[in-house]
Amino acid sequence: MSDLSSAARPLTVDSDDHAIFRQSVRQFAEQAVAPHVMEMDQAQTMRPELIQGAFDLGIMGIEIPIEYGGAGADISTAVVAIEEIAAVDPSLSVCVDVQNTLVNNAVLRWANDEQKKRYLPRLCSDMLASYCLSETGSGSDAFALATKAVEEGDHYRLNGNKMWITNGAEAGFYLLFATVDPDAGYRGITAFMIERNFPGFSVGKKEDKLGIRASSTVALHLEDCIVPKENVLGEVGKGYKIAIETLNEGRIGIGAQMIGLGRGALDHARRYVLERKQFGKAIADFQGIQFQFAEAATKLEAARLLVYNAARLKDAGLPFLTEAAMAKLYSSQAAEQIASRCIELHGGVGFTKEFPAEKFYRDAKIGSIYEGTSNMQMQTIAKNLLRE
C-alpha cells in the first residue's frame, strides 16, 4: 500500500519539540489509516499492515530506550501519538496506547536485564502486546481474580480465564496476572510474561462491541499453561504493585485517546457546519450553532490541559496519581459529550453511517469504562484529596 509506505518512516523523537513528531504521526493517520476506518469498523477487524505501520513509524516503543530499539522519549510524546491516531481512528489508538503506557511501561520498570534484552526489541518492532488483568468476576475489584499459578520445578502451571482483553486477537505477548496463593488475597498476585505459542494458552471468543470495533477484545484461556520461571515479571506476589502503578500511567493514555477522539469529532463537525447551508447561508453563521461549537471546543481544551498536565508531572518524576485520575475522568466525559453534540450539529445525517459522527459517538462510550471506571476515578481523587 503506497500511502502506508510513504507515511510510515521511523521517527527520531525529540521530546523538546513535539511539533514535527505530531505532524509525522498525523500524516500517517490521515494518509494510511483514514481510508480504512469505516471498513475496519464494519468488519470488526484491524488491518495488520496498519499495526505494522505503527511499528515502522516508531510509535510502539516511545518510552523504550534507544539501545533496545525504542525512541527513548517520554509519556508526553506517547500522548501526542495516541491523540493524533485517535483523531482518525480510536481503535488503532488503543493498540498504540496499551503497547506504550501499559505493557512497555511495566516491562521497562520491572523486568530484569535478560528479560529486557529478550522482549523490548520485539515490543518496539513487531510484537503487539496485551495487558491481561480482568476476569468475569474481577473488574473494578481487580484483585478478586481467580486465575491460578502453581509452582512446578522450573515453571508455573496456570489455569483460568481472562476476559475483555484488548489486542488479544493479534498480540504475540501477554502481560498476564494470576495468583500463586488465593488465600493471600492481593499479596498472591504475580505478573507473568506469556508468549502466544506457550503450551496450554489459547485465544477465545471475540466480543461484538458497540464501539472501537476494529480493536479486538477477547477472552483468553489457560489450561495447564506452562510458563517458565524466568517469565515472572518482578517478584512473585508483587503483581498487585505492578498492576496498580502501571494503570496509573495507563489512565493518561486513555485520556489522550479521548481528547483525540473529541478533536476528530469536532473537526468533522466544523467542516460540516461551514459547508451546510440553510436559509441561504452556512449554518455556522447561526449563533445557536456557534454557541454549541464554542462550548464543545472549550470542553476539549480543558480535557487536553488535564491530560498533558498529568503527563508533564509523570515525566518530571512528581506525584501524578490524582491528576491522572482527573484527566481520565474528565476527558472521557468530555469526549462523550462532544461526540454527542457533533451528531446534533450534523442533523439527520449525523445519525447515519455515511458520516463519521456516529462512529466517534460509539467509540467514546468505552472511555468511562475501561482501565478504571469513572466511579473508580472519582474514588481515587476523593481519597487522595481527603487524606489527612
Domain with residue 94: its CATH number is 1.10.540.10
Taking the alpha carbons at both ends of the chain, their separation in whole angstroms is: 58
177 plus 201 within the same structural domain = yes
336 plus 368 within the same structural domain = yes
Known catalytic residue at 371:
yes
Task: Give me the pLDDT at residue 14, please.
Answer: 53
Task: Give me the pLDDT at residue 16, please.
Answer: 54
Task: Give me the pLDDT at residue 203, please.
Answer: 98
25 plus 85 within the same structural domain = yes
104 plus 11 within the same structural domain = yes
323 plus 252 within the same structural domain = yes
194 plus 318 within the same structural domain = no
CATH of residue 220: 2.40.110.10
166 plus 200 within the same structural domain = yes
Q: State the virtual CA torsion across 135, 139, 145, 146 in degrees, nearest 10.
A: -40
CA distance 388 to 384: 9
Cβ of 110: how many Cβ atoms within 10 Å? 22
CATH of residue 345: 1.20.140.10
Task: Give me the pLDDT at residue 387, please.
Answer: 85
Domain boundary among 190, 217, 237: 237
CA distance 358 to 87: 14
Task: Give me the pLDDT at residue 243, please.
Answer: 95
Task: Give me the pLDDT at residue 18, please.
Answer: 78
Q: What is the value of pTM for the model shown? A: 0.94
Task: Give me the pLDDT at residue 5, please.
Answer: 36
Task: Give me the pLDDT at residue 388, please.
Answer: 54
Low-confidence residues of the chain, pLDDT below 50?
A: 1-10, 15
232 plus 280 within the same structural domain = no
228 plus 106 within the same structural domain = no
Domain boundary among 128, 163, 189: 128
Number of domains in the chain: 3
Task: Give me the pLDDT at residue 171, please.
Answer: 98
188 plus 286 within the same structural domain = no
62 plus 181 within the same structural domain = no
What the block records as the C-alpha cell of 188 is: 498472591
Domain boundary among 177, 205, 237: 237
121 plus 6 within the same structural domain = yes
Distance of CA 286 to the CA centre of its chain: 37
List all residues 6 or more positions away from 314 whose beta carbon is below 8 Å from its beta carbon. 75, 249, 252, 320, 324
pLDDT 10s digits, 229-253: 999 999 999 999 999 999 999 999 9
> Which residue's entry shows cell 504475540?
172
CA distance 352 to 341: 15
Domain of 66 in residue numbering reads as 2-128
* Annotated catalytic residue, options 170, 249, 323, 371: 371
